[in-house]
Amino acid sequence: MKNILITGGAGFIGSNVARKLLEKGYNVTVLDCLSPQIHGDHPEQDSPLYLSIKDKVHFIKGSVTNRQDWEQALKDQDAIIHLAAETGTGQSMYEIEKYTETNIGGTALMLDLLTNTKHNIKKVVVAASRAIYGEGRYLSKELGYVYPLSRTEEYMSKGDFECKYEGCTEPLELVATTEDSKIHPTSVYGITKQVQEQLVMTVCPTIGIAPVAFRYQNVYGPGQSLSNPYTGILSIFSTRIKNGNAINIFEDGKESRDFVYIDDVAEATVLGLEKEQANGEVFNVGTGIATDVLTVARTLIAKYNKEVPLTVSGNYRLGDIRHNYADITKARKLLDFEPQWTFDQGIAEFTRWVDGQEVQEDRYEASIEEMKQKGLYK
């Protein structure tokens, strides 16, 4: 396979994967709509992500929801890395049609064309998400492994943010989430990523195409959008700090995520493309380490050496999960994948990059106001 199509290839993950493939001698085609939410109002002039691949790939400005754009992009391709998606968890709860049309509709259109037209596609790698799990995996002394459902407003409004499970009287112990853990997304975004994965993993084998799915954890690093207020806690906090604005930590600050550096994500994705052992498999991509949000905020403030007010407010968003971090045993075994970047190393590199960027307009408050109006922010 030499000719690779990357949908969303001008995005954060996509552009990094594209550059890695180019270094390895692949021919790369990118299909991307250059969304203003990610790339700004003048992406062809100002977007660092787009400019990093400009004139290096065959670029098609188009949408995965458009049949003609797909037909053009699929010509002479050997494999697809399908990354194009709307990605804001909170935003997905009120932009439901938009998220469903792009994430599910775009994937369905791809598979319809692969099923009913002539092409040379041999493999499809699809970007799923840790969001499909909803809450992570927990261990109960009474019941063994359990998978809590969404936290209720009844408890959260009283400042009780920990997960509950019926029949458990003692606190639950957080453990790593494995690929065979229960799938029960708590957001529209999570649902759409689940369906994307299921569509690809179900349809592709029936038409002789090898599918691979990656459930990415919280991806960060140089190049991620600093102007998008809907996704990427490190970029949101960084833009707040750079503007001298206060940081409001939701809940009690102890909620945690698995932060994985972009270079490791790109490496895992290419391994999935190249290795036959990946065919038909689903993989977690993370570090296997949980880091809480308060630690993230304090680390960023220290790295930027800029004091801003830091408040642990007890505010919360309905649909947010409490914890989730990945078990990456399977990726280690089948892909020989091993994260190379620790959180401290990655944050240092990320903040150095941010320090070299123009300070972006902080649109976070406007995004919070949107959620308030929809009754999703408390």
- Rounded CA-CA distance 249/233 in Å is 11
166 CB contacts (<8 Å, ≥6 apart)? none
Estimate the crossing angle of helix 343-355 against helix 293-304, to 10 degrees: 50
Residue listed under structure tokens 């304090």: 298
- Rounded CA-CA distance 146/134 in Å is 12
Euclidean distance between the first and final Cα of the chain, in Å?
50
CB atoms within 10 A of CB 166: 8
Distance of CA 302 to the CA centre of its chain: 26
- Rounded CA-CA distance 286/162 in Å is 23
CB 78 within 8 A of CB 3: yes
Phi, then psi, of 96 in degrees rounded to 5 = -70, -45
Show the tokens assigned to 203: 């349809």
User: Of 26, 50, 133, 189, which one is the catalytic site residue?
Assistant: 189
- Rounded CA-CA distance 125/119 in Å is 16
- Rounded CA-CA distance 4/271 in Å is 14
CB 145 within 8 A of CB 294: no
In the chain, what's the furthest Cα-to-Cα distance? 60
Strands 144-146, 137-140: pairing kind = antiparallel
Is 216 catalytic? The answer is no
Q: Is 97 exposed, middle or buried (0-12, 13-18, 19+ CB in 10 A)?
A: exposed
The residues carrying an active-site annotation are 189
